[in-house]
């Protein structure tokens, strides 16, 4: 069995050499104090070493040579091309025997050992708190599928058979805490550590190491808590996560950065790659059986002497680079020195011209003040003009305000007329319903009269039978008379003929009279039927035409919605705003693409209105509060666009109520008005509806006042939230601008009058929603509406056809009956005249013998009496029918009245429409007037703006002239002072008396304004003359630079640049010397520290062996880089000394190996 022993609770060097972070400083200081100083300044050098040591621990310099290859393969987990160095693990050669040490020497060494008596980091009885491994968890790592190991704070033993996974736990700790795969000596890359038995579907391995994080040494306890878990993922899949995670005590991820892991390991002093902290089998073999050089390398790596040596080498490289930089800088500075010398010489020549320069500067200053004075005078003149234009602009704006106020009045009238149209539409609907009710009442009232008519028909048949009897009696009488004529003979031939004619005429007259009454009754009957059907036919026609118009409008609406739904155009759901809205919108878009509009245009307004998400319950109520006619409007900003829109409306055939227009101010097109939030407990129209377009939103605020309309769930909740009643009975609405409050479910609203009265207004119209409605649902609803209207249209057409056919038949029958009656009436007149003539002729002729025909005449009389009786009955029945006629006539009169009323309502609607059209035309005229006034105001405003631009330009010139004059005045004062300083100090400016070349803002502000004696042209000419004189002096003295100030500035700049470069070179030289001295001191102390650590290791090794009754020595050869162990099994027997550790027994060899590690 093998057993891994974790002898210390930490994975760091807690008790030995040079730990990092805070412990490193303390250990370094202790080691330096123990080392013997070489001179009197050792104490001061120790302080410098401590400070430099801290800087070295924070970061190293450049590498010197090639750094030894690191075992960390985090840079490429898939690298399989690494090659292990060939190592000779078995060494049979023995190192030379070390000198024998006597017992006395060993005792003396042990007694005088500088090692502290108590080498425990933690006080006695106090457990370690930070950096202790609490738990190790592995998944699909090496031989473990899943394993979790919890460790105590002290020594932990992990034991098991070969291959049971003891080393895998140690490897998991190393890999999870930042070590590479090769450091574990188990694989060349991380993927080789993934469990092979997991199969091809394995995504990778997961490692977790949980550390205690308590106490004062904890790492960021406010972030991670009492435990820190380091998780490392080894992914087998392309694109998978490979890296580290830092988890807090609640297993929540806090970081994935490697630098945070390194900072935590440094804080907790965890060194997973230090062989003293983690000693695996390969490192143990190397220490036991390796060469002396391997053991020495083990020693320097474990004590971190190797890392410090590499750091010092990097510092040396940096020092050499700085020396090279210094040398190159000195070689390149020669040109700057020569240039500075030449510039100084030229400047000295210019010093003789300083007096002339001062005079030039004075003249320039006067020239600047002259320009400033001229600009001041010009500014005063232009300011007077600007003031004059400003007054004219105020006058034009007042006129424009008056014109716009008159324009707004018409909007109120238009609103009132729109309201009247709505009321008249509702009244027309009510009248139509009343008309249909009256028609039903007329039908009911006509039923008894029709029954009487049927009874009268029965009497008419009886009368016909009696008339038939009367006719038979007449025929019998006629036959009797014929017999008389036959018996009378030829003598009375004329009498017989006359008698026959009289009989025939009387017979025909009786028949004609019998036919007269039925014919007259038939005429009256058909006339009544015709008159009765005439209103019904007209009503049916109007009903059918109205239904037909509705079907046409709804079908167009449905077609437009279907076209928009299929085409997906930008004019979404325009059909809900009217059948002509979509065509007008398309015409507007076409005109806009052709750039025919001068300003922005929007519409219809409802296209930009959407319901805010979550407030759909208030959509219908908000639309009801907005009212009709607002959502269909198009909005323009100027008169030209208004005229163009009116032309487009006429082209589309729009009426006064179709797609109305509104003109808004151009200032209201840029952004929406700022409206207040709704009061608590209610909504406003502005909070329920989202209006995307600024013009549409501002129109609704201006015309509909949507910001003053509140919406509530019920009357009670609205009154509770907004209504305030005072003790005197007056009411008012709280909530700022709220004027009206609409509430569900019917859309009623209430408001408070100015006198404090509560006004409640009901809503009889059904609320509808066209804002934000889903087009598919609207299309289905419209389809149902079309179907219902088509059914109604079919029924109306059938009813109209029936009434029309009956009306035609009645008219045709009346015409036929009337013709027959007139023909019969003419025949009766002719027969009466003929009978009178025959009777008159008979009275004048001779008498002829007659026979008794009284019996026949009696029959005729009886028949006539029966006929008269039936006629009386018929007259009585007619009287009864006539008695029922007044009620029916009254209902028919009411029907005619309601029909006339309906026609009047329609006429009133036409009149209101005409007024609306007149208002639109008048509005156009008023808009034209407003445009004219606005154009004049804009002209004046443009003139004001131009004048203000001129004033602003002159102000800028004046300001620039003032700034230039002050700068020139400052230059004059500076040159004058410089000249005085040079004159007083032998031509040189004394040190510390140099003047600033450029003035500050404070310097310029302190210069007072000067009033020049002459104008700017005078001083300008004098400046030019002085400059010519200076040029002549320069030519005479052969100077290359024309401006002395420039020459002086060049010299000072060159001198300043040269001084800075020289200071930089000197600074580099001082730094390299200081760094070289510091590095030398550090190397000296490093060597002393190395010797001290070696001595401490040797003493500790011997001390640990003494505990077993043995002795030993660690032999160091720092020059050759070798380390050898010498063990004396019995510290009393010098002959038991050996240098071959392999010659010891198993237990002796293990103890002899453990002792130098602990030492």
Residue 845 gets which letter from DSSP? S
Q: With contact defined as beta carbons under 8 Å apart, do 784 and 500 qualify?
A: no
Pick from 47, 15, 54, 21: which is nearest to 32 by CA?
A: 47
Tokens of 201: 């579907």
Q: With contact defined as beta carbons under 8 Å apart, do 208 and 146 qualify?
A: no
How far apart are alpha carbons 997 and 980 in whole angstroms?
16
Return the SS3 of 99: coil
Q: With contact defined as beta carbons under 8 Å apart, do 536 and 439 qualify?
A: yes
Q: With contact defined as beta carbons under 8 Å apart, do 35 and 1089 qualify?
A: yes
How far apart are alpha carbons 161 and 931 in whole angstroms?
104
Tokens of 839: 């009777």
Return the SS3 of 990: coil
Return the SS3 of 943: helix
Residue 1085 CB: number of other CB atoms within 10 A? 23
- Report in angstroms the alpha-carbon separations of 597 from 429, 522, 636, 641, 930: 41, 72, 9, 6, 19
Residue 310 gets which letter from DSSP? H
Q: Classify each residue of 999-1038 as buried b or exposed e, where b means 16 or more C-beta atoms within 10 Å of its C-beta.
A: beeeeeeebeebebeeebeebbebbeebbeebeeebeeee
Q: Which residues pair with 209 in a beta bridge?
A: 136, 230
- The angle at the Cα of 94, spanning 88 to 95, to the nearest 5 degrees, equals 105
How far apart are alpha carbons 463 and 878 in whole angstroms?
14
Tokens of 759: 């006004």
Pick from 743, 757, 397, 781: which is nearest to 557 by CA?
A: 781
Q: Which residues pair with 1112 in a beta bridge?
A: 1127
Burial of 83: CB neighbours in 10 Å, binned 0-12, 13-18, 19+: exposed
How far apart are alpha carbons 23 and 31 in whole angstroms?
12
What per-residue confidence (pLDDT) applies to 252? Answer: 94
Pick from 398, 377, 392, 400: which is nearest to 943 by CA?
A: 392
Tokens of 499: 């008698």
- Report in angstroms the alpha-carbon separations of 193 from 184, 1022, 1046: 10, 94, 75
Tokens of 945: 């703006």
For residue 17, is it left (φ>0), alpha (ψ between -120 and 50) or beta?
beta
Tokens of 976: 């004058």
- Report in angstroms the alpha-carbon separations of 671 from 502, 612, 632, 700: 108, 19, 21, 14
How far apart are alpha carbons 82 and 188 in whole angstroms?
7
- The structure tokens 């017992």 sit at 103
- The angle at the Cα of 611, spanning 606 to 612, to the nearest 5 degrees, equals 140
Q: Classify each residue of 215-253 as buried b or exposed e, where b means 16 or more C-beta atoms within 10 Å of its C-beta.
A: eebbbbbeebbebbbbbbbbbbeeeeebebbbbbeeeee
Q: Where are the alpha helices (DSSP H) in 280-304?
A: 281-289, 292-302
What spatial distance separates the first Cα and last Cα of the chain, rounded to whole Å? 27
Give the H/E segment covering residue 740: strand 740-743
If you count them, how many residues does the chain have? 1159
Pick from 584, 578, 620: which is nearest to 602 by CA?
A: 584
Q: With contact defined as beta carbons under 8 Å apart, do 534 and 807 qualify?
A: yes
- Report in angstroms the alpha-carbon separations of 279 from 174, 285, 373, 415, 919: 11, 10, 93, 97, 103
Residue 676 CB: number of other CB atoms within 10 A? 14
Residue 838 CB: number of other CB atoms within 10 A? 20
Q: Would you call the peptide bond into 745 cis, given omega within 30 degrees of 0 as the criterion?
A: yes
Return the SS3 of 166: helix
Q: With contact defined as beta carbons under 8 Å apart, do 373 and 1013 qualify?
A: no
How far apart are alpha carbons 1073 and 1069 in whole angstroms?
6
How far apart are alpha carbons 182 and 412 in whole angstroms?
91
What per-residue confidence (pLDDT) applies to 1100? Answer: 92
How far apart are alpha carbons 510 and 831 in whole angstroms?
10
Low-confidence ranges of the chain (pLDDT < 50): 1-120, 491, 565-572, 773-774, 848, 986-987
- Report in angstroms the alpha-carbon separations of 1053 from 337, 347, 1046: 12, 12, 10
Q: With contact defined as beta carbons under 8 Å apart, do 610 and 692 qualify?
A: yes
What per-residue confidence (pLDDT) applies to 563? Answer: 59
What per-residue confidence (pLDDT) applies to 994? Answer: 62
How far apart are alpha carbons 935 and 247 in whole angstroms?
74
For residue 251, is it left (φ>0), alpha (ψ between -120 and 50) or beta?
left
Q: What is the dihedral of CA 446, 448, 453, 458, to 10 degrees?
A: 160
Residue 158 gets which letter from DSSP? E
Q: With contact defined as beta carbons under 8 Å apart, do 15 and 120 qualify?
A: yes
């Amino acid at each position: 069995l093998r057993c891994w022993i974790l002898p210390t609770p930490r994975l760091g060097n807690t008790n030995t050499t040079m730990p990092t972070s805070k412990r490193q400083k303390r250990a370094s200081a202790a080691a330096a104090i123990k080392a013997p100083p070489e001179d009197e300044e050792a104490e001061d050098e120790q302080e410098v070493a401590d400070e430099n040591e801290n800087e070295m621990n924070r970061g190293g310099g450049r590498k010197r040579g090639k750094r030894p290859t690191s075992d960390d393969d985090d840079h490429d987990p898939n690298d399989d091309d690494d090659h292990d160095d060939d190592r000779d693990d078995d060494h049979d050669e023995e190192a030379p025997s070390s000198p024998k040490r006597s017992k006395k020497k060993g005792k003396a060494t042990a007694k005088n050992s500088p090692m502290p008596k108590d080498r425990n980091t933690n006080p006695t009885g106090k457990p370690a708190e930070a950096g202790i491994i609490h738990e190790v968890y592995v998944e699909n790592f090496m031989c473990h599928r899943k394993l979790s190991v919890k460790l105590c704070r002290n020594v932990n033993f992990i034991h098991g058979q070969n291959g049971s996974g003891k080393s895998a736990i140690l490897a998991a700790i190393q890999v999870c805490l930042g070590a590479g795969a090769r450091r574990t000596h188990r694989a060349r890359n991380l993927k080789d550590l993934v469990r092979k038995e997991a199969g091809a579907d394995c995504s990778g391995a997961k490692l977790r190491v949980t550390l205690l994080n308590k106490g004062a040494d904890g790492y960021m306890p406010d972030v991670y808590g009492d435990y820190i878990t380091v998780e490392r993922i080894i992914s087998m899949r392309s694109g998978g996560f490979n890296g580290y995670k830092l988890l807090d005590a609640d297993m929540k991820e806090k970081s994935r950065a490697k630098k945070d892991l390194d900072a935590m390991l440094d804080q907790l002093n965890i060194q997973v790659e230090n062989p003293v902290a983690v000693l695996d089998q390969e490192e143990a073999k190397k220490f036991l059986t390796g060469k002396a050089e391997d053991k020495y390398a083990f020693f320097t790596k474990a004590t971190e002497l190797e890392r410090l040596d590499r750091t010092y080498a990097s510092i040396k490289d940096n020092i050499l680079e700085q020396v090279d930089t210094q040398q190159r800088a000195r070689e390149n500075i020669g040109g700057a020195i020569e240039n500075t010398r030449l510039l100084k010489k030229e400047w000295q020549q210019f010093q003789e011209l300083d007096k002339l320069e001062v005079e030039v500067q004075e003249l320039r200053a006067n020239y600047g003040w002259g320009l400033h004075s001229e600009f001041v005078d010009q500014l005063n003149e232009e300011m007077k003009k600007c003031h004059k234009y400003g007054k004219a602009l105020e006058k034009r704006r007042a006129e424009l305000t008056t014109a716009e106020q008159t324009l707004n009045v018409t909007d109120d009238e238009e609103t009132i007329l729109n309201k009247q149209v709505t009321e008249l539409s509702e009244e027309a609907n009510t009248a139509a319903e009343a008309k249909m009710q009256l028609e039903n009442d007329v039908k009911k009232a006509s039923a008894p009269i029709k029954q009487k008519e049927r009874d009268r028909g029965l009497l008419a048949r009886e009368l016909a039978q009696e008339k038939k009897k009367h006719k038979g009696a007449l025929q019998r009488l006629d036959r009797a008379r014929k017999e008389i004529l036959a018996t009378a003979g030829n003598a009375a031939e004329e009498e017989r003929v006359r008698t026959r004619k009289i009989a025939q005429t009387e017979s025909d007259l009786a028949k004609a009279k019998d036919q007269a009454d039925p014919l007259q009754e038939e005429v009256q009957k058909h006339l009544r039927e015709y008159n009765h059907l005439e209103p019904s036919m007209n009503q049916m026609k109007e009903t059918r035409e109205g239904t037909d118009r509705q079907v046409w409008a709804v079908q167009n609406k449905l077609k437009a919605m279907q076209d928009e739904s299929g085409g997906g155009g930008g004019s979404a759901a325009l059909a809900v705003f009217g059948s002509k809205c979509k065509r007008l919108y398309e015409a507007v878009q076409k005109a806009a693409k052709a750039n025919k509009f001068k300003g922005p245009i929007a519409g219809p307004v409802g296209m930009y209105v959407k319901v805010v998400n979550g407030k759909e319950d208030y959509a219908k109520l908000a639309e009801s509060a907005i009212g009709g006619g607002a959502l269909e409007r198009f909005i323009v900003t100027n008169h030209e666009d208004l005229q163009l829109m009116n032309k487009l409306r006429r082209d589309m055939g729009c009426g006064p109520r179709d797609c109305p227009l509104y003109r808004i101010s151009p200032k209201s097109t840029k952004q929406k008005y700022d409206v207040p939030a709704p009061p608590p407990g209610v909504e406003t129209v502005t909070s329920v509806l989202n209006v995307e377009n600024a013009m549409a939103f501002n129109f609704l605020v201006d015309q509909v006042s949507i910001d003053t309309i509140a919406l509530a769930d019920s009357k009670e909740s609205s009154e509770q939230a907004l209504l305030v009643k005072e003790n005197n009975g007056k009411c008012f609405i709280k909530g700022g601008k709220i004027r009206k409050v609409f509430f569900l479910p019917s859309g009623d609203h209430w408001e408070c009058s100015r006198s404090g009265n509560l006004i409640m207004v009901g809503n009889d119209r059904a609320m509808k929603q066209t804002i934000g409605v889903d087009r598919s649902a609207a299309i289905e609803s419209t389809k149902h509406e079309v179907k219902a209207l088509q059914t109604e249209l079919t029924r109306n057409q059938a009813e109209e056809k029936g009434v029309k056919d009956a009306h035609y038949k009645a008219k045709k029958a009346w015409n036929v009956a009337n013709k027959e009656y007139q023909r019969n009436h003419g025949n009766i007149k002719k027969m009466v005249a003929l009978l009178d003539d025959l009777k008159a002729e008979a009275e004048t002729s001779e008498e002829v013998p007659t026979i008794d025909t009284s019996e026949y005449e009696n029959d005729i009389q009886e028949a006539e009496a029966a006929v008269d009786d039936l006629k009386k009955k018929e007259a009585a029945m007619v009287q009864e029918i006539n008695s029922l006629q007044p009620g029916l006539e009254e209902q028919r009169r009411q029907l005619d009245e309601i029909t006339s009323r309906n026609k009047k309502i329609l006429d009133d609607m036409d009149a209101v429409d005409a007024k609306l059209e007149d208002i639109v035309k008048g509005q156009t005229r008023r808009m034209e007037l407003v445009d004219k006034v606005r154009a004049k105001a804009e002209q004046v405003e443009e003139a004001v703006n131009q004048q203000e631009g001129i004033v602003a330009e002159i102000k800028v010139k004046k300001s620039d002239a003032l700034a230039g004059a002050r700068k020139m005045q400052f230059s004059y004062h500076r040159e004058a002072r410089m000249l005085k300083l040079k004159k007083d100090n032998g031509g040189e400016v004394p040190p510390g008396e140099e003047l600033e070349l450029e003035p500050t803002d404070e310097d310029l502000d302190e210069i007072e304004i000067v009033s020049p004696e002459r104008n700017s042209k005078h001083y300008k000419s004098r400046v030019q003359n002085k400059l010519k004189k200076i040029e002549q002096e320069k030519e005479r003295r052969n100077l290359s630079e024309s401006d002395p100030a420039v020459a002086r500035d060049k010299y000072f700049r060159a001198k300043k640049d040269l001084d800075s470069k020289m200071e930089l070179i000197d600074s580099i030289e001082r730094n390299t010397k200081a760094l070289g001295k510091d590095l030398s001191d550090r190397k000296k102390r490093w060597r002393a520290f190395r010797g001290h650590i070696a001595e401490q290791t040797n003493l500790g090794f011997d001390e640990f062996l003494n505990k077993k009754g043995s002795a030993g020595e660690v032999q160091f050869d720092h020059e050759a880089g070798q380390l050898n162990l010498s063990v004396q099994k019995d510290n009393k027997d010098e002959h038991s000394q050996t240098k071959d550790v392999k010659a010891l027994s198993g237990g002796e060899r293990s103890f002899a190996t453990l002792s130098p590690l602990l030492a």
